[in-house]
Chains A and B, each alone.
Chain A
């Protein structure tokens, strides 16, 4: 081949490569094309399931719906028909997106908000740190700083509120038994799978209304975005023919009413005071030193106050405060003990020459800055398995609530343990330990990842027993990833897993008695 031929071929090949490279950038997210939810069981009797916060579904009053032969109802059917007559591609995509499931999609939106807000504030000029303010969420530092405890609490409140709201909705669905619009008017096209579930109030609008109301409290600076997603959700349901407007309006009102009860609980759950103050931060250090232990120190520069030292006092969902204290881990090895020295050396050896495989495990489970945190990761794992199970919306909500209440309570017990012992990180005891992930700014014992993962694996194994082995393996890998990363000792991880599993046990106990099994 002569030079000219070679060059000609080379440049043609180069152009082809460039075009392919430029065109192959579309990425499909794992749940982008999730098929429409078509529950194996509509759980018609879920109105009798045990709510989390409500005493009974009748705590919320839902008005009797208008009759399906009334002129108003016929107007609402015609509204759907007019939407469908002018349907755009964007609207078809909206219908497909939301038909995958309301709990799934709002959980994903919540995870997105957490990831967006999981950023520690930058320091002030004088080396102190500013705190986000719920009253001024758009001023820097943005409110909230959605760190793992904040996120765990947010997931739990949204999930539990959605569960209570759907139990209430199911109660009224069965009571009023108003058929879906496509059953009333057989000429109506329906763009989602048909269901025998009564459509008043709309379960989708219940989930949406609950989320919108809860997120006003949890993500007050993101209202424009949240409202936009809510509007799309409501519109998708109307366009699809699954609900008439009165189904949607009643569902949304019901969701908001239930959420308001959870908002009231959240305002009094002591999370607002979890950041503590200088007096508390100093006392933690002096108390630890008085016990003869080396107190934890922030390894950030400038030194940052410890993350949410009073989060361990937050009101739990699955058990009372005395039980929470009883779940606290036993004391870690003394910082002056041989065991602590050995455990520190073990971490040093692990990080000295990291393997690619271990680094991948660290990265996979890191769930650090600008991610949806470990609780969000477990929600993602659960969501992808729940998709395969074809749960009804109410069962989705129930399972997500069990998972997220476990994760929040795990955060509470873990944080209580962390600040009870105030144990230093490996890099504090041996500065030669360099980490393969960001250094968390709170005490070491016990590992948050391990506690979260132990709790999540326990309740998920109860929900989907055939995945129990996989969940257990994932929890262990998440746990050990923190040793590989150089930020936790073996004791932190192993005890954390056990503490988490114990917390998860309370969720299992609840699951066995909530009427859903």
Chain B
């Protein structure tokens, strides 16, 4: 049986920028489900920030107070084979500002689908080296409002992503690194014009693409995983929030976060596991200085008719 380790929600702006990084389940970790196993579970996450970066200027906003979001997700992964997994995630999000008059938002956000392929896994020196290619798409599931930042539940952009990931494990110590390119489709908003650094007489907004780099390292066994994570999301284009302006979906939203994740396998047969973690934003631009906590329970449904025996690596079972 394979392991399932949720990565932290990285809540880029004021809200979640990218389905890809915000609620990925295993699209950024070096763990695969075994053939015909389906791992599924609910996740809860709480994200909040008081300060944010208006361009590069860090400030508070007394008319927002603390902006928080709660996410309830259903996530899952299915092993087409031990080398090929399909993953999905569907979040329901609510947002709220503790001060001022602005109304919170809520709704089902984007469906994310990933295909995760491990073409290479071999012994190399004292440990095991593996290479992954991950492709993803995300599509808004509802007609939620994107143009209401920082309280919008998402940016309502369809995305496609391509990621290359490397993992190396010696004994129970591992390190994983990945690089991602995210293409984002233009969005349409409810108004007929908007100002970025010039006027646009259209309801269509060009969304800058983005890159993401993710590094993680820690302990990984069949029973327990503990890891530290560094993530860097960079918007490739976009513009800064001008002085005392409101944020806009095509802002240049950058965020660097650090965090930790834990996974504990509860039952001896590996069917039930608990996952939790958190992260905080250490640098940013046009995003909230967010802190995020999450927890999840995962259960594995086995669609094979014979019981498989867990091995000890925790990575390949």
Contacts and interface: CB of A to CB of B under 8 A. Distances in A.
Contacts of B201: 29-32, 108, 380
Given A29-B201, A300-B63, A363-B189, A14 B184 contact: no
Interface of A: 3, 6-7, 10-11, 14-15, 17-18, 21-22, 24-32, 108, 111-112, 115-116, 119-122, 140-141, 299-302, 351, 354, 356, 359-360, 363-364, 366-367, 369-372, 377, 380, 427, 433-436, 438-439, 486
B84 A363 contact: no
B104 A380 contact: no
Contact of B185 (A6, A24, A111, A140): A24
A108 to B, nearest CB: 7
Contacts of B80: 3
Given A17-B137, A433-B101, A29 B202 contact: yes
Which of B62, B135, B184, B189 counts the most chain A CB atoms within 10 A? B135
A435 B243 CA distance: 22
Given A119-B242, A486-B101, 19 more contacts: A14-B137, A21-B159, A26-B206, A27-B186, A27-B205, A30-B201, A122-B243, A351-B103, A356-B144, A359-B145, A370-B195, A371-B193, A371-B195, A372-B199, A380-B192, A380-B193, A434-B103, A438-B246, A439-B101
A406 to B, nearest CB: 21
B228 interface: no
Interface residues of B, number: 53
Interface string B200-211: 111011110100
A170 B224 CA distance: 85
A18 B160 contact: yes
B103 A435 contact: yes
B103 A115 contact: no
Contacts of A115: 193, 195, 199
A486 B103 contact: yes
Given A369-B246, A436-B103, A356 B143 contact: yes
A254 to B, nearest CB: 28
A289 to B, nearest CB: 23
Which of A25, A302, A356 counts the most chain B CB atoms within 10 A? A25
Given A7-B117, A363-B189, A370 B103 contact: no
Contacts of A21: 158-160, 183-185, 209
Which of B137, B195, B243 counts the most chain A CB atoms within 10 A? B195
Contacts of A372: 193, 195, 199
Pick the 6 closest A-B CB pairs, nearest first.
A363-B190, A21-B183, A112-B199, A434-B103, A115-B195, A301-B62
B256 to A, nearest CB: 24
Contacts of A25: 186, 206-207
B213 interface: no
A338 B246 CA distance: 37
B202 A3 contact: no
Nearest to A435: B101
Given A364-B192, A371-B193, A121 B244 contact: yes
Contact of A119 (B100, B102, B245): B245
Contact of B202 (A22, A28, A377): A28
Contacts, number: 140
Interface string B120-156: 0000000000000101010000011101100000000
B193 A18 contact: no
Contacts of A380: 192-193, 201
Contact of A7 (B84, B102, B200): B84
A111 B84 contact: no
A377 B100 CA distance: 26
Contacts of A28: 202
A176 to B, nearest CB: 37
Contacts of B84: 3, 6-7
A451 to B, nearest CB: 20
Contacts of B159: 21
Contacts of A18: 160, 162, 181, 183
Contacts of B198: 112
Nearest to A485: B103
A26 to B, nearest CB: 8
Nearest to B103: A434
Contacts of B144: 356
B191 interface: yes
B50 to A, nearest CB: 14
Contacts of A120: 244
7 contacts: A7-B117, A18-B181, A31-B201, A116-B195, A140-B243, A301-B63, A364-B191
Contact of B135 (A10, A364, A433): A10
B143 A363 contact: no
A364 B245 contact: no
A111 B199 contact: yes
Nearest to A486: B103
Nearest to B136: A14
Contacts of B133: 11
Contacts of A7: 84, 115, 117
A487 to B, nearest CB: 8
A27 B102 contact: no
Given A31-B201, A299-B101, A351-B103, A22 B191 contact: no
Contacts of B181: 18
A352 to B, nearest CB: 10
Contacts of A140: 243
